[in-house]
Structure 1
Amino acid sequence: MAHLVHVVVATPAHSTVGGPLSYWSEASLPAGALVRVPLGRREVCGVVWDPPEGEAAQPDPAQLRPVGAVLDGLPPLSATWRQLVTFAAGYYQRSLGEVALAALPPQLRELDAAQLARRLQRTPVAPEVATVAAAPELTDDQSRALAAIAAEPGPFLLFGATGSGKTEVYQRAVQALLERDPQAQALVLVPEINLTPQLQARFEDRFGTSAVVALHSGMTNPQRLKSWIAAHLGRARIVLGTRMAVFASLPRLGLIVVDEEHDPSYKQHEGARYSARDLAVYRARTEGAKVVLGSATPSLESWQACERGRYRCLEMPKRIGAGELPRVRLVNMNNQPRGTVFSAPLLAALSERVARGEQALVFLNRRGYAPVLACNACDWKSECSHCSAYRVFHKVDRTLRCHHCGFTERVPRACPHCGNVDIAPLGRGTERLEEQLGELLAEVRRPDGEPVRIARMDADSTRLKGALEHQLAQVHAGEVDVLVGTQMVTKGHDFRRITLVAAVNPDGALYSSDFRAPERLFGLLMQAAGRGGRDAARAAASEMWVQTFSPEHPLFAALKKHDYAAFAGQQLNERRQAAMPPFAYQALLRADARTQEIAQAFLQAAAEAAPGLDGSGHVVLYAPVPLTVQRVANVERAQLLLESGSRPALQAFLAAWQPVLQGLRVRGLIRWAIDVDPLLI
């Protein structure tokens, strides 16, 4: 007997095939089963899906192609997992198959039934989970937070100062879950790969290595498949991962933790442009699980959700062990000599810390030696020939490197335009700061009489495998006196010896055209400040120095008091008056084309086809504009902003707009995409 089955497969972006395809099978297949099916001339992996609602006539099985093979070694993907995928595809305006198949490990999509069976034979059975390491005594704040998590449904926003012990709350909440239900599973999300090993080590120390698996794009395909299978079979009790892990198959999910929930890294910027934080909240609701969002500087969306009573705010304002947050000192750079990089007071403070055997952190969110190399004779600059951006000068390997497309060349001996040999760097990156500090602190001596030891930590210095772990170990062991780094050193690291943190040039975000720039800057500075004074014995002397040309800015007034609530209130008031998110809802239509004119012509045609789709008139479309960096890898980029005071109205408009966009044919258009709830405008 032939059985009709509906299967979702990874269809090309913007194809008119967005839902399940029909096949026939000799056996009845449950929804969620993994299968191999023919698609064109290929055989691809697919997921058996629920029948579409309101399907009228049943197709003739004789006109359908048969299912190739069933991967029956794995149990079907659950109904709640399929619901998560369906919601994400609809809300973020992508095809069902694109989201569903992208959520599966790449290697799983390539295996046949026999290969999968061999892999499953090598998957060990998980032993019983036991708490291994001794847990520290809880503070009053931690105890109150855990009691609320145990007694209330949530969602919870764990609003805790840096060093207040949020990770211990996460671990105790996981421990309580596993004690109540030994088969339960927990999902812990972190914003970036470089934070995963550190947190994974802490969870493995507490629960044992067999209970914890990692899931992120930095793993090899076999490693990702092994972790995914362990989670899907319920053998892994705790899954730690980056944003992609929000789609992990966890049949007994009871708790989701989103650490540093404010971090923009939770937003995907390619393919289905989803927010893992928002999907975590949705998934917890549909799975009947609890969700804890943790941050010292919550996103304004989460803060507003607490004010409106949608989230339960759990405050932990005190550091563990009577530690104090660093005292913030502002240096008015208007009073410093022109071109000053390190003010005299800051240099004196750095020298004093080194002489006392303490550590300092210097923060600048720009890697490389200098952002531009320029000729003083003809105004030539190191522009990228493929992007509307400058190539960054990297002195370590004497290259000019574009951080957008990767185009790299050796530094020329003379100006390519006029032959002048006097070409010089403009501006500063972490490489140059490291070099200048080495010169400025050359005469400073440590307590043992040895010279100062300076290290740099950024995406360049940690590129090689194991480099990040090695550098972190050096800092923790006290083998580094001054650490220079980008934002990667400000997140989540427990540096016990750092007593001084310095932000050298943070002003760029204060007057940015991006309305979210102040929020991101405040979060970065607060996180950076939190790296200092984590050891109670040194906390009283810890400081954060901020060099700024705008010391009167309200952001710095709130920073000096470590008063996130005051900053959030001021920002939310401005956004309310301007009708900006979270008081409005936005989407972007982005277009990539061979020329800027073609990209904007597509967007203009899309806007002209929009009237009538929104009968209520609740959606506003703005004029197409180029992106800030409008050309990347010889592709011109433009975008059109949509805005509405109603999320349902915006969603209804986008759904009605999709077939219109798919029907537009513009020669030279490379691709287009809709970005719902964009973070970068």
Structure 2
Amino acid sequence: MQQQAVKHSVILRLAVPVPLRRLFDYLPPEGVDSAAVAPGQRFWVPFGGRKLVAVLVDVVSESPLAELKPALEQIDREPLFDRRSRDFLNWAAGYYQAPAGEIYAAALPAALRKGKPADHWAEQWLELTTDGKGLPETALARAPKQQSLLQLLLSRGRQSRTQLKALGHSSTIVRALAERGLVEWSAGPTVPPPLPPAEPTPPPELNEEQRQVLAAVATDRFSATLLEGTTGSGKTEVYLRLMAQVLAGGRQALLLVPEIGLTPQTLRRIAARFPGHSIAALHSGLAEGERAQAWLSAAAGQADIVIGTRSAILTPLPRLGAVIVDEEHDGSFKQQDGVRYSARDLAVVLGRNAGVPVLLGSATPSLESLHNALSGRYQHLRLRQRAGNARPPQIHVVPTLGQPLQEGFAPQVLRHIGETLARGEQALVFINRRGFAPALACDDCGWLADCPYCSSKLTMHRRQRQLRCHHCDYRRPLLDSCPQCHSRSLSALGGGTERSEDFLTHTFRDFPVIRVDRDTTASKQALDRLLAPARDGKPCLLLGTQMLAKGHHLPRVTLVVIQDADGGLFSADFRAAERTGQLLEQVAGRAGRGDLAGRVLVQSRYPEHPLLQLLLEKGYGAYARQLLRDRAVAQLPPLRAMALVRAECEEPRWAEEFLQQARAQMQALAPPSPELQYLGPVPALLERKSGRFRFYVQITAEKRGQLQPLLARFCQWAEGYKNRRLRWAVDMDAQELS
């Protein structure tokens, strides 16, 4: 029997944070006036015995359901999401085949996701009365402090109590103006937490290339631009100048950075360049209240500049004037669980919707962005010369096959490090493995310390006397004897940053060795503190993982050592060669960024590898173009669109069976052809993680439009699949096969 549709003057169509790809209809809460209901507000709703925070997407008058429950409570008086941000999030949910409720939840900071009222962080705002607005700026010339505050309010509009305090305007001065009837207080949206005071810095002189780039990026319309600039070429200065143009027009600038560790130094530089402007930081290193406050200030249009990591792209920005993505090639811009979106790709969609420029900057562009630039979809601009007097570093390969090494270092490499430190300069050693050793083995029976939950070895951390899995974070105490044969002859195989730190500290006793990896930067502001001696110019030896490769300007670093260049050249992941080239180029770019010449020493067991030779002799540009040609032959992204349908389960047979049925369902709708191809089910490169076996089906198509309807139909089928122990996901534009 067919259900009869329900009609009502107001029906709430809500995005509920559950893994179902549809919106849910509710009646308004009892006692709530329908005139007070607006899309973008949050509501508490009952759902399957739970109480959840949902976002109102639309208000309708008819529902296909026969009975509707009322929502429990209206949380917001004013919408948190404006029309443009709702359209953007709805588009993202459709493109990535994600539940709308989950993408709205991902857009909210944790405190608001939990239902905390937005007005909890409301500010008191000082604004001019009608009499105050009618005064000339010089009306209070005999009272200079009152005059200064009057000028501020006339030129910039209302100011919050937090802003007034930061600018040095005392409550006594405010009270004096209020007694004259010139100002009054009102409640309003929050402002970001104040930043530490920064000494204002004037902008440096631009070189001709930088001027040409700025002239080519118009701020009055949408454009997508790839800025390919060699390391140290002044890309950040271009970002700052573009921000200045946007702020001058009364609009907001959004800057995305790949790592939390880059945020403090970026904030300092921006605060020094734009004193008096409101700056909001959005990243996972903030406390819940700080992040909610920053998010609300951005969403209310109070923050002039928003700096954030991946999730900041989902934040409503009503005055958006430009989007800048720094290090656009970085893999951290792709969310690898939950809603698997790409912040870099969404930046282009957001800019198009808002009619504002999008600038993607990198010394080593992703093949996706480079392909878009070479095919004319993006504007392609270049910065080829380093800023100031800096010259590109000299790069030398140090063959290591058959050579006597000390803890992984060739003798001539150690000699160059010693000579660099003795001259009062700094050296940087790159090792992309943390811990003491990547494996622990028994010399007598060959036992290896495996993770019981993942297809991986346990990494030895000697200082904490632990064995750890870097995939699931399983930990166990360091063993003194083999659990298999009880021998005490255990060996640490290979080396990581911790082992190298011990060796280099012993070898170069007169100089500090600063280790930078995830273990040493776990606490807030740790990276900033660790790098302080290097920024002060003191001779030191920096040692670390790829955290050292991104965005750091250390002009006294004149020697960079890459301990092992071979790791990604022989991987089963087709993207590994691209990531290896980017990483090597980025690390090499840390050398010689100041007045002193730089040198890079690259240790390799296979110095004749054609890709390595191409990278070192002709640079990343030629290297990337060769990889694009290889991808075209193999019919792989970015020359073709790709999606993965993933499944994982504690019982591997169930995951494989699900994917076999899924592939059969999709092939019935769209049979294999030269334009649409299927592969799998195949095991992920890391087949078992956290106790669950993982498989995927790969679908490649000539055009993305061929994938979307196919994936949507698959999701409809998969949501009805009866196996609660199995997890599945769609990964559109997948970046990882692991």
Q: Fold conserved (TM > 0.5)? A: yes
Work out the CA distance in 1 between the residues paired with 2:623 and 2:353. Answer: 33
Matches of residues 623-638 of structure 1 in structure 2 within 5 Å? 623-638=680-695
Partner of 2:203: 135
Match of 1:35 among 40, 43, 57: 43
**Structure 1 unmatched ranges of 5 or more:** 443-450
Which residue in the other structure is 1:445 paired with? none
1:174 to 227, 230, 243: 243
Contact map agreement 1:591 1:602 (CA 8 A) in 2: yes
Residue of structure 2 in register with 1:501 after alignment:
560
Q: What is the aligned length?
A: 659
Is 1:530 the counterpart of 2:589 in the alignment? yes
Q: So what's the TM-score if we normalise by structure 2? A: 0.85
* Structure 2 counterpart of 1:7, from 13, 22, 33: 13
User: Which residue does 1:602 correspond to in 2?
Assistant: 658
Q: Which amino acid aligns with 1:173?
A: L
Letter in 1 for 2:11: V
1:558 is displaced (CA, Å) by 3.5
Runs of at least 5 residues in structure 2 that lack an aligned partner in the other structure: 1-6, 126-158, 168-198
- Counterpart Cα distance in 1 of 2:539 and 2:517: 15
* Residue 576, structure 1, aligned to residue 645, structure 2: no
Displacement of 1:18 in angstroms is: 1.8
Residue 141 and residue 380 in structure 1: after superposition, are their counterparts in 2 closer, same or farther (change >3 A)? same
Q: 2:531: which partner in 1?
A: 472
User: Is 1:68 paired with 2:72?
Assistant: yes
Hey, what does 1:378 align to over in structure 2? 445
What's 1:680 paired with? 736
Matches of 1:615 and 1:5, distance apart in 2: 41
Match of 1:652 among 704, 709, 725: 709
The question of 1:642 aligning with 2:644 is answered: no
Match of 1:92 in 2: 96
Q: Which residue in 2 is equivalent to 1:157?
A: 226
Decide whether the 8 Å contact of 1:253 with 1:289 is kept in 2.
yes
SS at match of 2:408: coil
More displaced stretch, 619-628 vs 156-165: 619-628
Q: CA deviation at 1:220?
A: 1.3
Alpha-carbon deviations, 1:49-69, whole Å to 9, x = none?
Answer: 2368xx9x6568x93233433
Letter in 1 for 2:501: E
**Pair 1:622 & 2:626 matched:** no
Structure 2 matches for 1:129-528, cutoff 5 A?
132-150=200-218, 153-179=222-248, 181-182=249-250, 184-208=251-275, 211-334=278-401, 336-337=403-404, 341-442=408-509, 451-479=510-538, 481-528=540-587
Shift of 1:615: 5.9
User: Helix, strand or coil for the counterpart of 2:663?
Assistant: helix
1:508-559 CA distance string (max 9 Å, x none): 20111111111111111111111110112x02xx101101122222333343
Deviations 1:592-638 (A, max 9, x none): 11122221121112122223222685432212122222222222222
Partner of 1:116: 118
Contact 1:156 1:314 in 2 (8 A): yes
Partners of 1:189 and 1:245 within 8 A in 2: yes
Displacement of 1:361 in angstroms is 0.4
Q: Percent sequence identity over matched residues?
A: 39
Q: Counterpart of 1:77?
A: 81
Q: Indicate conservation of the 8 Å contact 2:222/2:352, yes or no.
A: no
| SS class of match (2:667) | coil
CA distance in 1, matches of 2:67, 2:222: 50
Alignment check: 8 A CA contact 1:133 1:206 kept? yes
CA distance in 2, matches of 1:384, 1:117: 47
Amino acid in the other structure paired with 1:48: L
Using the TM superposition, give the Cα deviation of residue 590 of structure 1 relative to its aligned residue in structure 2, in angstroms: 1.3
Partner amino acid, structure 2, of 1:626: P
Q: Separation in 1 of the partners of 2:557 and 2:267?
A: 23
Query: Which amino acid in 1 is paired with 2:636?
Result: M
Q: Residue 10 of structure 1 aligns to which amino acid in structure 2? A: V
Q: 1:104 aligns with which of 105, 108, 114?
A: 108
Conserved in 1, the CA contact under 8 Å of 2:224 and 2:357?
A: yes
Q: In the alignment, is residue 48 of structure 1 matched against residue 56 of structure 2?
A: yes
Counterparts of 1:624 and 1:118, CA distance in 2: 49
1:330 deviates by 0.5
Q: Residues 603, 63 of structure 1: CA spacing in aligned structure 2 closer, same or farther, 3 A cutoff?
A: closer
Cα shift at 1:100: 1.2
Task: State the AA in 1 paired with 2:343.
Answer: A
What per-residue deviation string (whole Å, max 9, x for no partner) do you get for residues 482-514 of structure 1?
A: 111000001000111100001111202011111
Structure 1 Cα separation of the partners of residues 461 and 246 of structure 2: 49
**Secondary structure of 2:726's match?**
strand
Q: Residue type matched to 1:212 in 2? A: I
Report the 3-state secondary structure (helix = DSSP H, G, I; strand = E; otherwise coil) of the residue aligned with 1:349.
helix
What secondary structure, in the 3-state scheme, does the structure 2 residue paired with 1:590 have?
strand
Relative to 1, partners in 2 of residues 1:615 and 1:629: Cα closer, same or farther, differing over 3 Å?
closer
Structure 1 residues 51, 553: CA separation in 2 closer, same or farther (over 3 Å shift)? farther
Structure 1 residues 373, 59: CA separation in 2 closer, same or farther (over 3 Å shift)? Answer: closer
Aligned partner of 2:214: which letter? L
Match of 1:557 in 2: 613
Q: Larger deviation: 477-486 or 598-607? A: 477-486
The more displaced of 232-241 and 326-335 is: 326-335
**Kept in 2: contact 1:371–1:391 (CA 8 A):** yes
Task: Tell me which structure has the larger Cα radius of gyration.
Answer: 2
Alpha carbons 1:2, 1:26 under 8 Å: kept: no
* 1:20–1:97 Cα contact (<8 Å) kept: no
Taking the aligned partners of 2:223 and 2:314, their CA distance within structure 1 comes to 21
Structure 1 residues 102 and 340: CA distance shift in structure 2, 3 A? closer
SS in 2 for 1:321: coil
CA–CA distance in structure 2, aligned partners of residues 334 and 277 of structure 1:
39
Measured in 1, the distance between the counterparts of 2:405 and 2:282 equals 49
1:448 is matched with which residue?
none
Distance 1:513 1:209, change over 3 A: farther
The residue aligned with 2:140 is none
C-alpha deviation, 1:7, in angstroms: 3.0
* Offset from partner CA, 1:565-606 (integer Å, 9 cap, x none): 211211111111111111111111111111222211211121
Aligned-partner SS, 1:63: coil
Q: Note closer, same or farther for the CA distance 1:595–1:38 as it changes in structure 2 (3 Å cut).
A: closer
Report the TM-score, using the length of structure 1 for normalisation: 0.92
Q: Contact conserved, 2:11 with 2:63, CA < 8 A, in 1?
A: no
Aligned-partner Cα distance in 1 for 2:431–2:618 = 20
**Is the contact made by 1:193 and 1:242 (CA closer than 8 Å) also made in structure 2?**
yes
* Alignment partners' CA distance in 2, 1:629 and 1:673: 16
Structure 1 pair 516/616, CA: closer, same or farther in 2 (3 Å)?
closer
Name the amino acid aligned to 1:510.
Answer: L
SS in 2 for 1:65: coil
Residue aligning to 2:649? 593
Judged with a 3 Å threshold, the aligned counterparts in structure 2 of structure 1 residues 264 and 164 are, in CA distance, closer, same or farther, namely same
